[in-house]
Amino acid sequence: MARLAPLELDDMTPEQRAVADAIMAGPRGGLRGPFQAWLRSPELADHGQKLGAYCRYGTSLPRNLSELAIILTGKHWAAQYEFYAHARLALEAGVPEAAVEAIRTGGTAAFEDVREQYVYDFVTEYLRTHRVSDATYQRGLELIEERGILDLIAIVGYYSLVSMTLNVFEVPLPEGVSPPLPE
């Protein structure tokens, strides 16, 4: 980490170690991304990793919709690490390559899947205007239902926190990886 030295497991407080162990034992398997920074506040790290586990693995939305929302959020915040980490996952989940590339380069993505198009429209509208129109909201009720809208909000909010953490603490990309987002 450019602004923070990594915390070594043996040097962590008992509170930090307990949270680090929980993160490493979970589906993420390691302390990548924002977790080294968050461990400076074990309570934040604990709550954040639990919310993140829900937002990434437990929402009502299928993986392609979640990953699409995540890369849109990473792009909005110009979070190189976030986009790098989730663009591959979006592709694996079935988000079209042309759409991922359009998002990466700042173009307009188009989707055959009406629910993917909805997530794209919802997230871009909200991040641009800080609101969602009645028409967009109503379309969401039809396509992903009320819980899906709430889960979509949670994903965008959580990954905004992640992106901000990555950017402020200048979390580097893995060695040999070029920044995916244009500067």
182 domain-assigned: no
Tell me the three-class secondary structure of the chain, residue by residue: CCCCCCCCHHHCCHHHHHHHHHHHHCCCCCCCCCHHHHCCCHHHHHHHHHHHHHHHHHCCCCHHHHHHHHHHHHHHCCCHHHHHHHHHHHHHCCCCHHHHHHHHHCCCCCCCCHHHHHHHHHHHHHHHHCCCCHHHHHHHHHHCHHHHHHHHHHHHHHHHHHHHHHHHCCCCCCCCCCCCCCC
Structural domain harbouring 116: 63-165
Domain-terminating residue out of 58, 77, 111 = 58
Domain count, the chain: 2
Q: Per-residue pLDDT averaged across 4-26, rounded? A: 89
Tell whether pTM > 0.85.
Answer: yes
Q: Could you report the per-residue pLDDT of 133-176, keeping only the tens digit for each?
A: 999 999 999 999 999 999 999 999 999 999 999 999 999 999 99
Q: Same domain, yes or no, for 78 and 44?
A: no
Residue 142 shares a structural domain with residue 159:
yes
> Are residues 131 and 113 located together in one domain of the fold?
yes
Evaluate whether residue 3 is within a structural domain. no
My answer on whether 120 and 159 are in the same domain is yes
